[in-house]
Chains A and B, each alone.
Chain A
Amino acid sequence: MISWFLTSIGVLVGSGIAAWTVGRTRLSTVLGASGAVLACTIGGAASLHVLVSGASQTLRLPWHLPLASLTIEIDPLSAFFLLPTFLISALAAVYGAGYLGAAAGQPERTGGAHWLWFNLLLASMAIVIAARNGVLFLMAWELMTITSYALVTTRHERSEVRHAGRIYLVAAHVGTAFLLVMFLLLGDRGSLDFDTFGAAGSRAAFASNLIFLLAVLGFGVKAGFVPLHVWLPEAHPAAPSHVSAVMSGIMIKLGIYGLLRVLPFLGEPPLWWGWLLVLVGLVSGILGVLYALAQHELKRLLAYHSVENIGIIAMGMGLGLIGITRGSGLLAAFGFGAALFHVLNHAIFKALLFLCAGAVIRETGSGEIEHLGGLLKRMPWTAAAFLIGSVAISGLPPLNGFVSEFLLFLGAIHAVVAPRLPVAIAGVTLIGGLALIGGLAAACFAKAFGIVFLGAPRGNEVERARDAGGLMRAPMLILALACAAVGIASPWILPLVARVLPAIAGARIAMEPEVASAGRSLMGVTLTAAAFLAWMAAFAILRTLILRGRERRVAVTWDCGYARPTPRMQYTASSFAQPILDLFAPLLGTRVAFMKPRGLFPARSSLETATPDTFRERVFRPLFGEMDRFLARFRRIQEGRVQIYVLYIAATLLLLLGYQLMRNP
């Protein structure tokens, strides 16, 4: 099966290069996209095989680089992340072929190079997941960053896109710096092969703690933990939508994957690791959804929701860690199980939502929520898909988002009845936090779907919009169906999730009975959801029967007797979100510029609100400013003459020589 995986990587690289050489033609799109689909089918089959059979596949080749070896392995954990990677990537490639081609009246702007970068991004993500050597991992990780940077800056003629790309590149490299140190500390036994990390002897507690913190920071940048999330709301709106779907659906999850991969190497976790992840998750979840509510741009709103969902995943991991610390298979199984399930679910519904947003932006030329409206009648398929994605991401039954959040709730409920107080408090914190996040997410997506797709059009662009074509529509519908299928079939998907758990929590904690009990609860959810759907069908039929033969009239919306309603009188997204934003104003720092109508004959008035990211404005900008000022002092020694630099090198060598001589005379 490992040969299948290598074939898939080979097809990705080969088709990418082929598409590139063909240049800016329709053929490059065909080559690139079909290569991606073929590779993803092969790779997906390989990872499904591993996940179902549970047997890991390994390949080990020597590599002539210090500390490096070409070791790749597909175990259930890797397979669990590879499966959505290949699924979402294939659908995104199909969508991309429709999205990039023949943009209404424009020539093909992005050709071969785009597909080279896209397919290389897919290949690098797959290698990151399969790599079992630090050097290989970091190289693939960097390749992933660079290719995705190239994709984010596809529309580099716009200055805001270049700006977003720069923020992304800086953030990604800061993250990698942490990871580099982390791997060096992990490899203190002289090898960077993963199988040597956890094995012989135990590490000092200090070293383990340090490695854990570096992992949270380094992987947290990619995943988007608050306050390391600042690149997400910049990069996602700048990228083409199918790239956003891959980045948000899959790439940020590789941060989660990295954390899950590294955790077992670190031995027995102290309690505060779990608490740290619970709190990071809580803060990411609540601030993510609040910032999302404050946004006026559709893809930026979705990007902040990625922060929220990564927060939910982190909460699950935190609960799982607390479970491991306390030796409770129950909490470990529910925490990590919920986190993994949510990784899968978020990949599906977030990719779906980004694809729908892309269709809207492509048709109307704008992601500004306040300028849209009434799109449901013009883009019925996209609207239906977006509604399904909205219900799913809000964690509402009967779709898939509810299932994973339910598992996390269930884990938290088990924690609440635990005799130990700290565990019980963690459970209560999770319940309160998750419920708040759920309610706010529902409000946010009521705003996003309601203002964009419902009501009457607020601008002329909307009037001309038509629904997405077949290549774009099919991936959206498949993902929407997947949301419903995973939601209903969750009891049968749970065993696949459970297969991954021993790799994370170690074999010493028994989890089979817990997984079985979770399965029974999920079966209850499925049964109830089926009853819910049946009731809905019953009421629909009842109404049809009642209304048969009766009068059906179309009138105007009740307008209090006002004779000339206009679309501009509709409620706006800003006004919809205002009560919640007012409530949390201290956390958000929304800037309001309000020019009131004044005087006896008021003429001009305006209202503008903007919610820039507090962490970017108040933390990172001052921080980097200070660093810049501090480092400027050292410019004196960097003065540009090569001869001087050679002198530095010679002096350093002399010093080291002298040091060695003094130590071993």
Chain B
Amino acid sequence: MSPAGLVPVAGAVLLAPLFLGIIHRTKALFAGRSGPPLFQIYFDAIKLLRKGCVYSGATSWVFRLAPIVAPAAALTAFLLLPQGGFPALVSFPGDFVLFVFLLGTARFLTVLAALDTGSSFEGMGASREAAFSALAEPALLLCLAVAVRESGHLSLSGLVGSVTGAEWQRAGPALALTAVSLLAILLAENARIPVDDPNTHLELTMIHEVMVLDHGGPDLGFILWGQALKLWVMGALVVGMFLPGRTGSPWLDGAVFLAGMLALAVVIGTVESTIARLRMTRVPQFLVGAGAFAVMALALVMR
């Protein structure tokens, strides 16, 4: 553990909402709108933190637990993930399993909070989230298994940054398959198009948004920030795992990493602008497809 490890954690906490802002700006550009300000998520979160709270009479402490667990889990996941040239605070063999299941704990409580309201809409969202994540989780871990097999490293600190330009030349197809698969999982896990549309206005068509329909005030602020953190942490995983080029200077690597994150945000915005949302019954196929990509990549690296 070194204090320098806190720099990227603090950076992520501050920059995560901006990542969403860039996605929104990209989408606005495609649609020919001027779009919301880059810092809109900050304004929203601050506005929400200044409000009081309203709870449904049907809910219990489980409903109030979820908004705490979600950002806490994302923040804890940051402890395991090196970003840019900065090392992770905690690193041990197999830490990526903990990384994945920490996000699982947050999701489990979010699903329970949705069921706590007794609303059919939220039950529907909870049911979809549980079903889709059960498919996304194996795909994510299989992707990480590809990287483990390819690099021989057993921890996130080894996996992130292990891919160099030479590695891309040697095992390009397998890495590309894994990257596509990871990107698909990232979109699904973070409620993005083509799996879920964060901007949809009909409860029946939502997944994540409908689960947090009854949250308000500071709770919703926590949830928004937590969502942004989760998107950032998974994005940082993708960027860290596949971006070649390490200079050795943490600040320079940090800059490269931020450029990678910026590019990823633009890619996500582009995907959201150019791909239609999938029908709900097609989402499992999308996720199984991501898993199949990971299995193909495994077959390539295990030759």
Contact = CB atoms under 8 A, between A and B. Distances in A.
A403 to B, nearest CB: 10
B178 interface: no
20 contacts: A397-B102, A413-B154, A416-B149, A417-B148, A428-B145, A432-B142, A436-B138, A438-B101, A439-B135, A517-B93, A531-B76, A532-B72, A535-B73, A535-B75, A546-B49, A547-B53, A557-B59, A557-B118, A557-B122, A571-B119
A633 B11 CA distance: 81
A567 B58 CA distance: 10
A447 B108 CA distance: 10
B134 A443 contact: yes
A391 B152 CA distance: 32
A454 B62 contact: yes
Interface stretch (A214-222, A227-235, A577-585, A620-628): A577-585
A536 interface: yes
B284 interface: yes
The 4 closest A-B pairs by CB, nearest first: A571-B123, A439-B134, A524-B92, A450-B115
Contacts of B131: 443, 579-580, 583
Interface in B36-81: 49, 51-60, 62, 67-69, 71-73, 75-76, 79-80
A61 interface: no
Contacts of B67: 539, 543
Contacts of A376: 60, 62
Given A528-B76, A532-B73, A539-B222, A394 B108 contact: yes
Given A406-B97, A554-B54, A391 B130 contact: no
A406 B99 CA distance: 11
Given A377-B60, A455-B58, A540-B68, A567 B127 contact: no
Nearest to B125: A571
A446 B115 contact: yes
A87 interface: no
Contacts of A381: none
Contacts of B91: 524
A449 B94 contact: no
A483 interface: no
Given A446-B111, A450-B111, A455 B117 contact: yes
Given A432-B138, A438-B137, A575 B123 contact: yes
B72 A435 contact: no
Contacts of A450: 111-112, 115-116, 126
A528 B90 contact: yes
Contacts of B58: 374, 455-456, 556-557
For chain A, the bracket of interface size reads 35 or more
Given A413-B154, A558-B117, 14 more contacts: A396-B108, A397-B98, A406-B97, A410-B94, A410-B154, A417-B152, A439-B135, A439-B136, A447-B130, A531-B79, A535-B72, A550-B53, A552-B53, A555-B57
Nearest to B120: A571
A442 B137 CA distance: 11
Interface in B260-289: 284
Contact of B127 (A536, A539, A575): A575
Given A414-B154, A432-B141, A442-B108, A570 B54 contact: no
B195 interface: no
Given A454-B116, A527-B90, A576 B137 contact: no
B190 to A, nearest CB: 17
B246 interface: no
Contacts of B300: none
A447 B127 CA distance: 8
Given A413-B93, A567-B118, A552 B101 contact: no
Contact of B119 (A416, A417, A557, A580): A557
For chain B, the bracket of interface size reads 35 or more
A274 B15 CA distance: 48
Interface string A429-471: 0011101101110110111011100111000000000000000
B130 A536 contact: no
Contacts of A451: 115
A532 B98 CA distance: 11
Contact of B92 (A395, A421, A455, A523): A523
A410 B96 CA distance: 10
Interface string B151-166: 0101000000000000
Interface in A548-602: 550-560, 567, 569-571, 575-580, 583
Nearest to A521: B92
A536 B79 contact: no
A455 B114 CA distance: 9
B302 A438 contact: no
Contact of B79 (A409, A528, A539): A528
A432 B299 CA distance: 14
A555 B127 contact: no
Given A443-B134, A455-B117, A520-B92, A402 B218 contact: no
B95 A524 contact: yes
Given A528-B80, A576-B126, A583-B284, A556 B57 contact: yes
Interface of A: 373-374, 376-377, 387, 391, 394-398, 402, 406, 409-410, 413-414, 416-417, 421, 424-425, 427-428, 431-433, 435-436, 438-440, 442-443, 445-447, 449-451, 454-456, 517, 520-521, 523-525, 527-528, 531-532, 535-536, 538-540, 543, 546-547, 550-560, 567, 569-571, 575-580, 583
A15 to B, nearest CB: 41
Contacts of A447: 130
B209 interface: no
B298 interface: yes
B133 interface: yes
A557 B108 contact: no
Contact of B94 (A396, A406, A433): A406
A432 B290 CA distance: 13
A424 B79 CA distance: 29
Given A425-B302, A446-B130, A571-B120, A555 B152 contact: no
A436 B134 contact: yes
B149 A417 contact: yes
Given A413-B93, A439-B134, A554-B57, A536 B118 contact: no
B121 A558 contact: yes
Contacts of B71: 535, 539
A532 B102 contact: yes
A450 B72 CA distance: 22
Contacts of B141: 409, 431-432, 435
Contacts of B57: 554-557
B253 interface: no
Contacts of B254: none
A445 B137 CA distance: 16
Q: Point out which of B90, B108, B126 has the most chain A C-beta atoms below 10 A from its C-beta.
A: B108
Contacts of B186: none
Given A416-B149, A531-B76, A547-B218, A410 B134 contact: no
Nearest to B93: A521
Given A456-B118, A570-B119, A571-B124, A446 B52 contact: no
A571 B127 CA distance: 9
A431 B138 CA distance: 7
A193 B271 CA distance: 69
Given A558-B119, A558-B213, A416 B148 contact: yes
B90 A397 contact: no
B297 to A, nearest CB: 11
Contact of B115 (A396, A454, A556, A558): A454
Contacts of B196: none
B286 to A, nearest CB: 13
A294 B217 CA distance: 37
Contacts of B92: 520-521, 523-525
Contacts of A397: 98, 101-102, 105
Contacts of B295: 432
B123 A417 contact: no
A413 B121 contact: no
A458 to B, nearest CB: 10
